[in-house]
Amino acid sequence: MSSKYQNILILTGAGISAESGLATFRSSNGLWNNHRVEDVATIEGFQRNPALVHDFYNDLKKEIQKAKPNPAHLAITKLQKEYPAANISVVTQNVDTLHEKAGNKNVYHIHGQINQAVCLNCGHILETFGDVDTETICPHCEVMGMMKPNIVFFGENLLYMDKVEPLLRQCGLFISIGTSGVVYPAAGFVQTAKYYGADTIEFTLETTNNNYLFDKHVYGKAGETFPQYVEQLIKG
């Protein structure tokens, strides 16, 4: 791998947040924090029972507010501060704000953010860690009951793809941390980066579905392995 990169793209998934104590969505049992995914992460579920969905994300907000970034998050901040003259961006599938808490910059939440709600009437995005429910009034259009958690539900389009696609084409180094390689289109990001000539490396606990697309695999807890890698990268 090159000792100097101009553009680095870091993709993070549920595994990096799990090391901070946040529950991951496990497709094997279809549950997320003891709720059926169909009930809390689909537009049909929201239309069927918006109060339940709001309660779920309001509770998740409280859980996320207590969570603290771990050494892997902090190592990203160190890399962004100390790696010379590089543009380093973070694309995350996580809806938590641990990247922001750790001081990471250039973060793109392609699955949305827990501390945001979007008005289905006018498109205004409300940023709050307070509760949002069926009686919340949009501060922009003043219509009540149209706020939806700004979370990308199954079947909805990812956010920020107009920003992510150029980053994938331009990066010289693509790093994946804590992703399963199962959820598309994010699982295909490495393929795009590799096609355009990027070096690719993954930090994972276990073999991923798309592991054959990575030049290097580092197994173990990212909070332990990734900071060591960052130190090596900074030293060149």
Per-residue pLDDT reduced to its tens digit, 7-39: 999 999 989 999 998 866 554 444 566 778 888
pLDDT at 24: 62
| Structure token digits, residue 185 | 């289109």
The arithmetic mean of pLDDT across residues 41-53, rounded, is: 94
Cα dihedral angle (194, 192, 17, 134), rounded to 10 degrees?
Answer: 170
- Spatial separation of the C-alpha atoms in residues 145 and 133, rounded to whole Å: 7
**pLDDT by residue (tens digit) across 147-186?**
999 999 988 999 999 999 999 999 999 999 999 887 778 8
The arithmetic mean of pLDDT across residues 31-59, rounded, is: 88
Say whether pTM exceeds 0.85: yes
The arithmetic mean of pLDDT across residues 46-50, rounded, is: 95
Residue position matching structure tokens 């990268």: 233
pLDDT at 211 over 90: no
Counting the structural domains of the chain, the total is: 2
Q: Is 150 helix (H, G, I), strand (E, B) or coil?
A: strand
The arithmetic mean of pLDDT across residues 67-77, rounded, is: 97
pLDDT at 181: 81
**Closest-CA residue to 51 (of 136, 121, 129, 112):** 136
Calculate the average pLDDT of the chain: 92
- Measured in degrees and rounded to the nearest 5, phi and psi for residue 204 equal -150, 155
Q: How confident is the model at residue 67 (pLDDT cuts 50, 70, 90)?
A: very high
Active site residue 35: no
Specify the CATH number for the domain of residue 91.
3.40.50.1220
Q: What percentage of the chain reaches a pLDDT higher than 70?
A: 94
**Closest-CA residue to 97 (of 107, 83, 86):** 107
**Closest-CA residue to 35 (of 62, 3, 59):** 59
Q: How confident is the model at residue 54 (pLDDT cuts 50, 70, 90)?
A: very high
pLDDT at 154: 86
> Could you tell me which residues come within 8 angstroms of residue 108 by beta carbon, excluding any fewer than 6 positions away?
89, 90, 91, 92, 159, 160, 163, 164
Q: What is the DSSP letter of 186?
A: G
Helix, strand, coil distribution of the chain in percent, nearest 5 = 35, 25, 40
CB of 190 closer than 8 Å to CB of 200: yes
Residues 28 and 52 in one domain: yes
Residues 17 and 36 in one domain: no
Q: Could you tell me the residue range of the domain that residue 182 belongs to?
A: 7-22+69-111+158-235
Residues 214 and 184 in one domain: yes
Residues 196 and 226 in one domain: yes
Judge whether 137 lies within some domain.
yes
pLDDT at 29: 47
Residues 225 and 165 in one domain: yes
Active-site residue, from 111, 124, 140, 217: 111
